[in-house]
Each structure stands twice: as structure tokens, then as C-alpha cells.
Chains A and B, each alone.
Chain A
């Protein structure tokens, strides 16, 4: 039916040259839209590098913020906070994500397998601010205070879909013969999964984790009501002084998780709205560091998989 009407339509047109020309024009247009879409990418990267490069210096990485309106100081608190939050998020997201991916990869056509993949997709579409509201209700309100723990869990929920989806795909790429050989030797399913399948898929899994990390480290909205931000909190100094006073490392870390922490995106968001020129300059520098971190993670994840898969084929 469809091909007949298309046929008739094409036949009814006149002038091969005109049709050819309009085809050319449209094809060139699609190329131009592609170029147009890349303009903002290079504009943003270029501008942030130029502006941020002007205001970035050593103390930016090593000092705590000075009071608003004063020049100098840095965002050490935010850099440490970002690392802490992302580490927490990976801790909470990677083990459950990998387990769920095992189910989705090996039982794709069972009702639960379909449900896992479908709800992963749905979860990746839930607005990040909603995740923030959710964590506020289930952690912050229960504990009675804002905390890095709540922020870490919020970021973990955001990472989860990326991790499940990429892990599932990577598990499917592992040749089934490997798994079957291990099972045939009498190894239980869990030993096969941990000692055979995961090592075989390791490259792809690392790529997935890095992509998830990149996404989580740039997020702001879920941290607004969870990690909140904390300008005077130097995590490294807390750890040092805690250990010096003879405390257990876990006790020190536990105390740190109870505190609100800052992160680079949160700092950037707060600074960008302040009237002080010094703060705006630092916002650009923070944008440079944040963008560098996110894009470098993203690019290295992709390069890693390309290089490793090429080496395996060769």
C-alpha cells in the first residue's frame, strides 16, 4: 500500500533535474544542521577554557573559600566534596547495578527481566531534582540534618541506569562458550559470574562505570537539598586531625558523612548568582575544572574501550 502511493507520487513529479537539485539542497542542509549543532559545543568549551584559564591558579586547588568580596582563596572544599560524593555514589551504585544487570542480561525474556530493563529506562528519565526531593524525604528528614551521605545516595540513583544498561550490554558481548565451559567444569553460577564473566567483560564494565561517574559528577539538582554545600569543610584536614587524635579511620569517615559537603557544581551554581566579581571569576574557574573533569572522564572511557577492543581483535 505504502510503496504504491510512494511510487505514484514519485512518478507524478516532473523534471528529473529539479528533483535532483532539491535532493542536493536538502542533503547539504542536513550537513549544515550538523555543523550548527556543533557550534555551541566548541563555543562553550572554548569560552570556558579561555575565561577559566584566566582565573585559575594554584591556590584555587589548595585553599578554602575566602569571605565574599575578598580576592583569592580556592574551592578545595568543593573539589574534595566532589571526590567524596562520587566515591560514595560508585560504592552504592556499582554492586547493585552489576547484579541487576546480570539478571537483565541472562534472563531477558522473563517478566522480571523485561521489567528491569524497562524500569532502568524509566529511572534514567526521572528528573534529577525529583531524586533530590526523594532523598530529602527518606534520608535528610529522618536523620534530621543535611549530609554528604544523602548526596552520595542521590548521585548513586542517578548513576544506576547508566551502569545497569552498559553492564548488561557488555555481559551480552561475552561469548556464551566461556560461561558454559566454566559451568560444565562444575563451578557454580556465582563463581562463574565473578571469576569468568566479569573479568572477560572488565573493559566494557570500566567504560560504563566511568560514563556513570562523569554524569554524576556534573549533577547539581539532586544535591541542593541533600549535600547542601559547606564552605568551611576541609575533608583532608578532618581526616588528618582525626587520625592524629588517635581515632579509628572508619569513625572519622563516619563523622565526615554526617556533615553537609560542597561539590563543584553546587559551588558554581552559588557563585554564579552572587554579585561579587571575584566570585564570578571563581565560578568560571570552577566551570573549567568541572568541565575538564567530566569531559576527560567521558573521553577516556570511550578511548579505553576503542583501544582495548582493537587490541583484542588484532
Chain B
């Protein structure tokens, strides 16, 4: 009896010492925690994708590819359970593309100003102000949009665009009016998105410019180039892939933006291509209808739209990060922050 209990005791003792050694005095646990949380971030993304895939099987099998393909008379009918996502895909693509086209020159200008021209004391406050613009909540943009930006800015611009470009062949299809009196339209969404993504694109382009080695500028100046020639013919080509990355990041943000867009785009499904008419986007249809989805097929169709949006933004992000990283790797003296 005594021998047995002693044996048990010493076994515990040996185990304790062994455990202490094996755990490196708690460091194994610490390492396991940090590795686990690191892996957790990766797994979280995969999990999100998996859940969206797993929760939309009936919609995927019921509509197949016709869910995604362009069609002029696409239907979104919760009563008949017939769903096609093209109007939303088109709305997302056209508003984001317009926003990028407008935001790129502005952001490039600001990035150049901040990195190359601006006096050092002004750089930090200006950078802060742009980050504040990015920090303003999306719903506040939406509220300001509905009551101030739409009636005062978007409606006049839309009316002018409609009368100037509307009659043109081809291009006119994007500018056939009339724009609603409230101003709620795809154009409004595109302009609000422009304001919202300029800080994103600017921050990255500025860092790209700051990461370009001094020798590049000095070489151009030594060849007799003016400041602008240095910027446009040396620095921009040098940082091109970083700038492209910035644009794609901005595009990702524009595609996923929900609240402000939902509040100003007018939320209607029309068969037109026009920027001046109300529309719908992928994120705004989810925001508006998911909580009140009537049937299984309805909510699954919305989840399938979410799945598509997730994959598009995932892909864009992967490409963008890769491009920005490439610039950072080429110029080792400064790190480019994404």
C-alpha cells in the first residue's frame, strides 16, 4: 500500500518537473497562444468564405450562372422567387468605376503635393485632415449626402451632364436623364464614393512617393528636368505598381461601401445603364432586404451576392497588396505602409 502511494506521488512529481521542462516554464503556452491567434486571423477569412458558400446552395443550384450574367430585363422578385443579381452587380461596378476615375487624378495630385512639394510643417496636419475625412462614419456621409450634397451639388451637375452628354451616341447611354429632383442616383453614389476613397488612395500614393530613393530625383534634375517633368516622367513610372495597388485598394473600399451608398443611390431596379438614374448596389440590396428576407431562396440569393462581393474584394486585395509590396521591396530604405 505505502509503496504504491509513494510510487503515485513520485510519478506526479516527475510529471510536474517534466511538464515544467516541456512547457519551457510557460513559454510553450505563450507560443501556442500567439501562433493560435495568428492562425486564427487566417482561418477567420477562410471561415467567412466557407459560411457564405455553405449558406447559399439552393440559390446557386436554382439560378446557376444566369444569376450573374448581364441581362436587360433582370428580375428580382421575392413573390415569384425569381432572382437575378445583374442590376446590383452593374450598379456596384459602374459607381465604383466612376468613383475611381474621379478619385485617381485627385489623389495623385494630393499624393504628389504631400510628398514632393508641401513644406514639412504642413505635411503632418494635412495628412491628419485626410485621415479625419476617412474617419467620418459612413452614415454621416449619407445624411449629409441626402440633405446637402444631393440637392445642391449632384442634381445641378447631373442636369448639366444630361443635357451636354445625353444626346451623344454610345456615351449618351450613360448620361440619359432626367436625374430625379432629389438627386438620388448612381452619379450621387459615385461622387460620395469619390470623397470617401480619396483618403485611402492618397495615403498609399503618398507613401509610395516617399519611398522612392532621392537619387532618382537628383538624376532627373541633373539631366535638366523641371520639377513636374521629374514627377511625371520619373517618379510616377517608378512608383507605378504602387499607385496601381493604391487604386485597387480604393476600388475594394468602394465596392464594399454600404451605408452612404444605400442612402443616396435611390434603391431602384431599372433596366437603364444611365449614371443619372437611381440604381442599386450589391451591398445596398443586402443591407435593405436581408433582415426582412421572405423566403429561403430570397435570403440565399442575398447571401450569394455577398459571396460574390467577398470574392471580388478578396481578389482585389490580394492583387493590390502584392503590387504595393513590390514597390516596398525595391526600395529597402523605407517601408511602405499599406
Contacts and interface: CB of A to CB of B under 8 A. Distances in A.
Interface of A: 2-3, 6-7, 9-11, 19-20, 22-23, 26-27, 29-34, 36-38, 40-41, 43-45, 47-48, 96-97, 99-100, 102-104, 112-113, 115-116, 118-123, 125-131, 133-134, 136-138, 157, 160, 164, 188-191, 193, 214-215, 217-221, 224-225, 228, 265, 268-269, 272-273, 280, 283-284, 287, 290-291, 294-295, 298-299, 302
Contact of B51 (A37, A38, A134): A134
Contacts of B47: 134, 138
B256 A130 contact: yes
Nearest to A266: B139
Interface stretch (B76-84, B142-150, B159-167): B142-150
A69 B263 CA distance: 21
In the A-B complex, the 5 residue pairs with the smallest Cβ-Cβ separation, listed nearest first, are: A127-B256, A218-B137, A33-B109, A190-B30, A23-B228
> Quick one: which of A134, A191, A302 has the most chain B CB within 10 A?
A134
Interface in B29-60: 29-31, 33-42, 44-45, 47-48, 51-52, 55
Nearest to A127: B256
Contacts of A164: 41
A134 B135 contact: no
Interface stretch (B61-69, B268-276, B285-293): B285-293
A225 B292 CA distance: 10
Interface of B: 24-27, 29-31, 33-42, 44-45, 47-48, 51-52, 55, 105-106, 109-110, 112-114, 117-118, 126, 128-133, 135-144, 146-148, 195, 198-199, 202, 219-220, 223-229, 231-234, 237, 249, 252-253, 255-259, 263, 283, 286-287, 290-291, 302-303, 306, 309-310, 313-314, 316-318, 320-321, 338
A188 B24 contact: yes
Given A116-B42, A129-B256, A131-B48, A23 B229 contact: yes
Given A10-B223, A100-B38, A129-B283, 12 more contacts: A2-B237, A23-B229, A37-B199, A40-B133, A40-B195, A112-B39, A121-B321, A127-B313, A128-B258, A218-B135, A269-B259, A284-B143
Given A48-B144, A112-B38, A224-B290, A37 B137 contact: no
A263 B145 CA distance: 21
B45 A34 contact: no
A19 B229 contact: yes
Given A127-B255, A127-B309, A225-B291, A100 B37 contact: yes
Contact of A125 (B109, B138, B313): B313
A291 B38 contact: no
Contact of A220 (B31, B137, B291): B137
Given A121-B338, A130-B256, A48 B106 contact: no
Contacts of B51: 134, 137-138
Contacts of A3: 219, 223
Contacts of B302: 133
A6 B202 contact: no
Contacts of A41: 129, 132-133, 136
B109 A287 contact: no
B213 to A, nearest CB: 13
A290 B291 contact: no
